[in-house]
Amino acid sequence: MSGTLYIVATPIGNLGDLTPRAAETFAQVDFIAAEDTRVTLKLLNHLGLKKPMVSYYEHNLRERGEYILNRIAAGESCALCSDAGMPAVSDPGEVIVRDAHARGIPVTPVPAASAAITALCVSGQVTGRFVFEGFLPTNRRQKKERMDALKNEERTVIFYEAPHKLLTTLADLEAAFGAQRGLTVCREMTKLHEEIRVTTLGAANAYYKENPPRGEFVLVMAGAPPEAPAEQTLEDAVAAARERMVAGESAAAAAKYAAAHSAFSKSEIYRRCMEQAEAPIKQKGQGAAAAKAESGRAGGQARENARQQEHSRHPKREDV
């Protein structure tokens, strides 16, 4: 019978944030798959545990992932953990989780802190809708493409960044989104030198040029301001009303609906609808009158031509 792959969250800085369930899971599993066995060893020493560990990180995903899943398929249980926070989020663990599901191996979460959600909660930015981008690409072209794709993103955007790349990233973000875009810089969260700085892209860029960055960073950037809706004209409101009239609604009801969805009154929409409805009738009447007048002129000319022809055939005596 297959064992279970446990996805276990570890503290993002403060060991006091480790949950009792995480500690219990570490104690019960057969072995631990760790991003860095040296970091996890410190955690196990804190718990007074000794467990077999295997390393699982970006450069050994294929080989080590297959090895771990084969052991679980044979009946062992494994706790997967990263150096800090929830594994498999912006983390190599996502690959082994996907492969475990593909092989029908049970995957169980043991949740706790996530740096992204923790930073969002204390950022002061809009939290109802957000986008997690993790680490931006290091390749310049790919990085620019990623930021271009976020140009009109109205949701709050969360990035991770390492201290040695922070200045470059802040400069690139300022160039892409403007110096006044709101930003919350969260540094060393839950640790001794925790810092939550509510600022702007421009101010943050200037600050860290003068104050060399240290520690791990989460950047919570405000979304783009929503685009102003196009101003509706009276003709737009009338067109909306006439569409409903064509569908069988009365002019009064159609005008009332259009007024409720525009800045114009029911009476002015109704009046314009009536004017447009009467215009074809007037044009038709004017056209008929013109045609009748033209017909009359044509008939009079025909009678005059006939009279002249008759006169030429039968001239009066005094004309001879």
What span, in angstroms and rounded, lies between the C-alpha atoms of 12 and 255?
A: 59
What span, in angstroms and rounded, lies between the C-alpha atoms of 189 and 173?
A: 22
> Does residue 283 surpass a pLDDT of 60?
no
Task: Confirm or reject CATH 3.40.50.300 for domain 5-113, answering yes or no.
Answer: no
What span, in angstroms and rounded, lies between the C-alpha atoms of 26 and 32?
A: 7
Q: What is the pLDDT of residue 229?
A: 67
Query: Where are the chain's structural domains?
Result: 5-113, 117-221, 229-279
CATH of domain 117-221: 3.30.950.10
Q: Residue 6 is encoded by which pair of tokens?
A: 């446990």
Among 119-128, 167-176, 283-292, the least confident range: 283-292
- In order, the DSSP letters of 24-80 are HHHHHSSEEEES-HHHHHHHHHHHT----EEE--GGGHHHHHHHHHHHHHTT--EEE
N- to C-terminal Cα separation, the chain: 134
3-state secondary structure at position 264: coil
- Return phi, psi of residue 56, to 5°: -145, 105
Mean pLDDT of 95-124: 95
Of residues 208 and 288, more confidently modeled: 208
Among 45-59, 158-172, 207-221, 277-291, the least confident range: 277-291
Res. 63 pLDDT band, cuts 50 70 90: confident
Q: Residue 122 is encoded by which pair of tokens?
A: 């204390």
Q: What is the pLDDT of residue 1?
A: 62
CB 144 within 8 A of CB 53: no
Q: Tell me whether domains 5-113 and 117-221 share a fold.
A: no
